[in-house]
Structure 1
Amino acid sequence: MKIKQVLVAFCFLITTSVFCQEKQFTLQEIWSGQFRTEGMQALHSMDNGNHYSVLNVDRQTRTSTIDIYDYKTLKKINTLVSSADIAEIQGFFNYTFSEDESKVILTTKSQPVFRHSTLGEYYIYDIASKKVTKVSDDLIQEPTLSPDGTKIAYGFENNLYVKDLKSGKVEQITTDGEKNKIINGITDWVYEEEFAFVRAFDWNAESNQIAFVRFDETKVSEFSMDVYGSDLYQTQHVFKYPKAGEANSKVSLHLYNVNSKNLTEIEVGRTYEDFYIPRLKWSKEADVLSVHYMNRHQNELDLWLIDTKAMTSKIVLAEKDNAYIDVTDNLTFLEDNSFIWTSEKDGFNHIYHYSKNGQLIKQVTDGNWEVTNYYGFNEKINTIFYQSTENGSINRDVYSIKLNGKNKKRLTNKTGTNSAAFSADFTYFINTFSSATTPQEYTLYNSKSGEIVKEIKDNKALAKKLESYVISEKEFSTISVNGNDLNMWTIKPKDFDSSKTYPLFMYQYSGPGSQQVANRWNGANDYWYQMLAQQGYIVVCIDGRGTGFKGADFKKVTQNELGKYELEDQIEAAKQLGKLDYIDETRIGIWGWSYGGFMSSNALLKGNDVFKMAIAVAPVTSWRFYDTIYTERYMTTPQENPSGYDENSPINHVDKLKGDYLLIHGTGDDNVHVQNTMRMVEALIQADKQFEWMLYPDKNHGIYGGNTRVHLYKKMTDFIHRTLGDKLQMSQN
Structure 2
Amino acid sequence: MKRNILLLALALGVHTIYAQQKRFSIDEAAIGLYANLAQENLAQLSWVPHETAFVHTVKVLDEDVLIRKHVPSLAVDTLLHLSDIQKLLGSDIRLNTFPEIHWLDKQTMYFEVQNRYFIAHQKATDWEVLPWHTLPENAANIVVDSVNKQLAYTQGNNLFLIDTNGKIQSLTQDANPDIVNGQSVHRQEFGIEKGIFFSPKGNYLAFYRMDQRMVESYPIVNWDNTPASVHGTKYPFAGRPSHEVSLGVYNPKNAKTVFLQTGEPKDHYLTCVTWSPDEKFIYVAILNREQNHLWLNQYDAENGFFIKTLFEEQDPKYVQPLHELHFLPHKDDQFVWWSQRDGFMHLYRYDRTGKQLNQITKGNWVVNEIIGESADKKTLYITGSKESPLEKHVYAVHWETGKMTRLDAKPGVHQAQVNTDGTHILDSWSDGTTPRTIDIYGTQKNWKRNLLTSKNPLSAYLRPKVENITLKADDGTPLFGKLIYPTNFNPSHKYPVIVYLYNGPNVQLLANSFPASGNLWYEYMAQRGYLVFTMDGRGSSNRGLKFEQATFRQLGSVEMEDQMQGVNYLKSLPYVDIDRMGIHGWSFGGFMTTSFMLRKPDIFKVGVAGGPVLDWRLYEVMYTERYMDTPAENPAGYEKANLLSKTALLKGKLLLIHGTSDSTVVWQHSIKFLKEAIKTRTQVDYFVYPGYEHNVRGYDRIHLMQKISDYFDLYLNPYAAQDINEKANAKLSY
TM-score greater than 0.5 by the shorter chain:
yes
C-alpha distance in 2 between matches for 1:705 and 1:349: 34
Does residue 94 of structure 1 match 2:100? yes
Amino acid at match of 2:685: E
Deviations 1:687-713 (A, max 9, x none): 11122221111122221344x222221
Q: Give the secondary-structure state (helix, strand or coil) at the position aligned to 1:253.
A: strand
1:653 pairs with one of 636, 646, 660: 646
Does residue 54 of structure 1 match 2:50? no
Instruction: Tell me the residue number matched to 1:349.
Output: 345
Instruction: Tell me the residue number matched to 2:310.
Output: 316
Q: CA 1:41–1:234 in 2, change beyond 3 Å: closer, same or farther?
A: farther
Amino acid at match of 1:591: H
Q: CA 1:722–1:227 in 2, change beyond 3 Å: closer, same or farther?
A: same
Q: CA 1:71–1:218 in 2, change beyond 3 Å: closer, same or farther?
A: farther
* 8 Å contact kept, 1:575–1:610: no
Q: CA deviation at 1:565?
A: 0.6
Alignment of 1:201-280 (within 5 A): 201-229=196-224, 231-268=225-262, 272-280=265-273
Q: Give the secondary-structure state (helix, strand or coil) at the position aligned to 1:456.
A: strand
Q: CA deviation at 1:299?
A: 2.2
* 8 Å contact kept, 1:93–1:107: yes
Instruction: Tell me the residue number matched to 2:527.
Output: 534
Does residue 161 of structure 1 match 2:160? yes
Percent of residue pairs identical: 28
Moved more, 483-492 or 27-36: 27-36
C-alpha distance in 2 between matches for 1:523 and 1:186: 38
Instruction: Tell me the residue number matched to 2:659.
Output: 666
Instruction: Tell me the residue number matched to 1:282.
Output: 275
* 8 Å contact kept, 2:373–2:421: no
Deviations 1:446-493 (A, max 9, x none): 1122x5621112321xx1x42322212321121123233211111112
Does residue 107 of structure 1 match 2:112? yes
Deviations 1:85-112 (A, max 9, x none): 56442556223233x4554332101xxx
2:547 pairs with one of 554, 563, 577: 554
Does residue 605 of structure 1 match 2:598? yes
Q: Give the secondary-structure state (helix, strand or coil) at the position aligned to 1:338.
A: strand
Does residue 45 of structure 1 match 2:47? yes
C-alpha distance in 2 between matches for 1:669 and 1:537: 31
Amino acid at match of 1:593: W
* 8 Å contact kept, 1:20–1:469: no
* 8 Å contact kept, 1:177–1:183: no
C-alpha distance in 1 between matches for 2:570 and 2:3: 54
Matched pairs, number:
704
C-alpha distance in 1 between matches for 2:192 and 2:23: 41
Instruction: Tell me the residue number matched to 2:452.
Output: 457
Instruction: Tell me the residue number matched to 2:144.
Output: 145
Does residue 717 of structure 1 match 2:717? no
Q: CA 1:329–1:357 in 2, change beyond 3 Å: closer, same or farther?
A: same
Unaligned runs of 5+ in 1: 110-119
Instruction: Tell me the residue number matched to 1:623.
Output: 616
* 8 Å contact kept, 1:426–1:447: yes
* 8 Å contact kept, 1:157–1:178: no
* 8 Å contact kept, 2:143–2:196: no
* 8 Å contact kept, 1:503–1:728: no
2:572 pairs with one of 556, 579, 597: 579
1:373 pairs with one of 366, 369, 372: 369
Amino acid at match of 2:376: K
Moved more, 604-613 or 368-377: 368-377
Q: CA deviation at 1:21?
A: 3.8
Does residue 415 of structure 1 match 2:418? no
* 8 Å contact kept, 1:71–1:444: no
C-alpha distance in 2 between matches for 1:548 and 1:661: 28
Q: Give the secondary-structure state (helix, strand or coil) at the position aligned to 1:647.
A: helix
Moved more, 363-372 or 50-59: 50-59
Q: CA deviation at 1:525?
A: 6.5
Amino acid at match of 2:515: N
C-alpha distance in 1 between matches for 2:492 and 2:465: 19
1:185 pairs with one of 173, 182, 185: 182
Instruction: Tell me the residue number matched to 2:444.
Output: 448
Q: CA 1:169–1:83 in 2, change beyond 3 Å: closer, same or farther?
A: farther
Q: CA deviation at 1:657?
A: 0.6
* 8 Å contact kept, 1:436–1:474: no
Unaligned runs of 5+ in 2: 722-734
Instruction: Tell me the residue number matched to 2:607.
Output: 614
* 8 Å contact kept, 1:479–1:485: yes
Q: CA deviation at 1:381?
A: 0.6
Instruction: Tell me the residue number matched to 2:505.
Output: 512
Q: CA 1:525–1:671 in 2, change beyond 3 Å: closer, same or farther?
A: farther
Instruction: Tell me the residue number matched to 1:170.
Output: 168
Amino acid at match of 1:377: E
Q: CA deviation at 1:352?
A: 1.0
* 8 Å contact kept, 2:141–2:182: no
* 8 Å contact kept, 1:49–1:423: yes
Amino acid at match of 2:482: W
* 8 Å contact kept, 2:272–2:324: no
* 8 Å contact kept, 2:437–2:453: yes
Instruction: Tell me the residue number matched to 1:117.
Output: none
Instruction: Tell me the residue number matched to 1:703.
Output: 696
* 8 Å contact kept, 1:479–1:488: yes
Does residue 22 of structure 1 match 2:18? no
Q: CA deviation at 1:281?
A: 1.9
Normalising by structure 2, we get a TM-score of 0.90
Moved more, 697-706 or 82-91: 82-91
Deviations 1:569-611 (A, max 9, x none): 2134313321322222222221101110100110111111222
Deviations 1:142-176 (A, max 9, x none): 3333343243322222222222344x322212112
Amino acid at match of 1:627: E
Q: CA 1:131–1:18 in 2, change beyond 3 Å: closer, same or farther?
A: closer
Instruction: Tell me the residue number matched to 1:340.
Output: 336
C-alpha distance in 2 between matches for 1:660 and 1:169: 61
Amino acid at match of 1:284: P
* 8 Å contact kept, 2:192–2:322: no
Q: CA deviation at 1:380?
A: 1.2
Q: CA 1:570–1:137 in 2, change beyond 3 Å: closer, same or farther?
A: closer
Instruction: Tell me the residue number matched to 2:466.
Output: 474
Amino acid at match of 1:145: V
Q: Give the secondary-structure state (helix, strand or coil) at the position aligned to 2:18.
A: helix
Q: CA 1:60–1:655 in 2, change beyond 3 Å: closer, same or farther?
A: same
Q: CA deviation at 1:75?
A: 4.1
Amino acid at match of 1:722: L
Deviations 1:251-309 (A, max 9, x none): 11211122222221220456x54311123121212212222221112222222222324
Amino acid at match of 2:50: N
Moved more, 336-345 or 21-30: 21-30
Instruction: Tell me the residue number matched to 1:543.
Output: 536
Amino acid at match of 1:44: S
Amino acid at match of 1:357: T
Does residue 70 of structure 1 match 2:65? no
Amino acid at match of 1:347: G
C-alpha distance in 2 between matches for 1:133 and 1:676: 46
Q: CA 1:549–1:4 in 2, change beyond 3 Å: closer, same or farther?
A: closer
Q: CA 1:74–1:599 in 2, change beyond 3 Å: closer, same or farther?
A: farther
Amino acid at match of 1:344: Q
Amino acid at match of 2:112: T
